[in-house]
Structure 1
Amino acid sequence: MKRYLLLLTALLLAPLSGIAQTSSIVGTWALTAADKLMPDGTRVSDYGPNPHGLVIFTADGHYAVQIYRGDRVKFASGDRLKGTPEEYRAVAIEMSVHFGTYTVDAAKHTISFHIDRASVPNQDDTTAVRAYELQEDVLSWKVAARPDGSIPITVLKRVK
């Protein structure tokens, strides 16, 4: 009987361990920097001055990431369906948006984004693993190096 109660307790607490594992990042985070680390060690803005963004991690394992260039140019026609090729190109490269579910490996300091949909269709139905750092109310992660050798870095501050 004692063994049965221990097993039952362990099974009941198992779902809570997953939540506790991600609880340190659960919440809403405002973007403070969207930089890239260049191969020569310099750090420059990746989305221009004053990028905007918001990241939300829910306790049940869902997330949404939105990062936008701060000084986006509006469509000259005022109609998103009548943009020029240059305007559409700018829209595509001046944002990074994706949502889905996530898991945290606190021991490895990684967040795995299980991407449902993204602004880049090639990322749909994929998993992206990011090394992260959490210092009090500041969360940051690095993206894998791009072909030019630069490493994007996202920096967020917890919204209170």
Structure 2
Amino acid sequence: MRLTGTEQLLEAARAFRGQLSATLHAEADHRAHAQRLLPILERRTGRIVFNAFSIPQEVSCASTHGGPFPATSDSRFTSAGMGAIERFIRPVTYQNFLDDLLPDALRAANPENLWRVVDDDVVQPLGPTPCGLIVYTPEGYMAAQLGRGDRAPLPSARLEDAASDDLARAAIGYIAYGGPFTVVDPATVEHHVTTSLFPNWIGRPQVRTVTFDGSYVRLAVAAPTRLWGADRTAELTWSRAA
């Protein structure tokens, strides 16, 4: 379609129905025209591409199929983004099964090292916003510090003057340990604990599975472990410091 001016272009855009995406090719001196066109496109699509092409589209949480129907992120219809995966999911319940008859993803040992919710029981022992630091050195040593993000300061300004109850509350919300480490294989690391806030960890290796994802690394216990009153998996996601 060839148009002879901005008004015709805007009229044509208003005639569009819901679209998966819209692509705008323009030069710097077309800014005024683009500013008039964009509000119209925004009401007809959930993805506007500038001086590029809209495909291929990566399947990620940032991918949307958001616009007026039928260009919609509704998982019953969309073929774009993470919501599209739900179109191919059919739930199956396994009740009272022997463990070795279950799919690998559901077995107690969790051989695929999946992050799972068991009986809707998710524990956040350090709250929803923990903060910390983990360091691995080329010489083969590691140290990890992790605590609640909402820990309140103690009434005493000096550690040696703090009350026992206050120290106990501070310790409950904090994990710290360190020592040499061994890379067992590309997906497993073993921490040989030589110092720890919780003294019972000293001398006990802490084995973690490792998954790299860009600037993130996920460390998880190698198998379900007795944690907070039940057999649980545990996972931490760390972000590389800038």
Normalised by the length of structure 1, the TM-score is 0.67
Q: Which residue of 1 aligns with 2:138?
A: 59
> Which amino acid counterpart does residue 131 of structure 1 have in structure 2?
T
Contact 1:38/1:44 (<8 A) preserved: no
Provide the rounded CA distance (Å) in 2 between the counterparts of 1:38 and 1:116.
Answer: 32
1:115 has 2:180 as partner = no
Match for residue 174 of structure 2 among 85, 90, 95: 95
**Are residues 151 and 88 of structure 1, via their aligned partners in 2, closer, same or farther at CA, if it must alter by over 3 Å?**
farther
Provide the rounded CA distance (Å) in 1 between the counterparts of 2:142 and 2:154.
Answer: 29
**SS of aligned partner of 1:39:** coil
Q: Which residue of 2 aligns with 1:21?
A: none
Provide the rounded CA distance (Å) in 2 between the counterparts of 1:134 and 1:40.
Answer: 28
**Are residues 59 and 77 of structure 1, via their aligned partners in 2, closer, same or farther at CA, if it must alter by over 3 Å?**
closer
Deviation at 1:105, TM superposition (A): 2.3
1:148 has 2:229 as partner = yes
Deviations 1:53-101, CA, capped at 9 Å, x for gaps: 1111112211110101111122213232232332122122111111111
Higher relative contact order (CA 8 A, sep 6+): 1
Higher strand residue share: 1
Q: How does 1:6-155 map to 2 (within 5 A)?
A: 39-107=118-186, 109-143=187-221, 144-149=225-230, 150-155=232-237
Task: Give me the CA root mean square deviation.
Answer: 2.3
**SS of aligned partner of 2:169:** helix
Contact 1:56/1:65 (<8 A) preserved: yes
Provide the rounded CA distance (Å) in 2 between the counterparts of 1:91 and 1:83.
Answer: 10
List gaps (5 residues or longer) in structure 1: 1-35
Deviations 1:122-145, CA, capped at 9 Å, x for gaps: 111221111222122211112334
Provide the rounded CA distance (Å) in 1 between the counterparts of 2:174 and 2:234.
Answer: 13
Normalised by the length of structure 2, the TM-score is 0.46
> Which amino acid counterpart does residue 153 of structure 1 have in structure 2?
E
**Are residues 45 and 147 of structure 1, via their aligned partners in 2, closer, same or farther at CA, if it must alter by over 3 Å?**
closer
Q: Which moved more, 1:56-65 or 1:36-45?
A: 36-45
Deviation at 1:44, TM superposition (A): 4.6
Contact 1:46/1:152 (<8 A) preserved: no
Identical pairs, percent: 23
Q: Compare CA radii of gyration and give the structure with the larger one.
A: 2
Deviation at 1:112, TM superposition (A): 0.1
Contact 1:38/1:151 (<8 A) preserved: no
Contact 1:52/1:67 (<8 A) preserved: yes
List gaps (5 residues or longer) in structure 2: 1-114
**Are residues 148 and 58 of structure 1, via their aligned partners in 2, closer, same or farther at CA, if it must alter by over 3 Å?**
same
**SS of aligned partner of 2:193:** strand
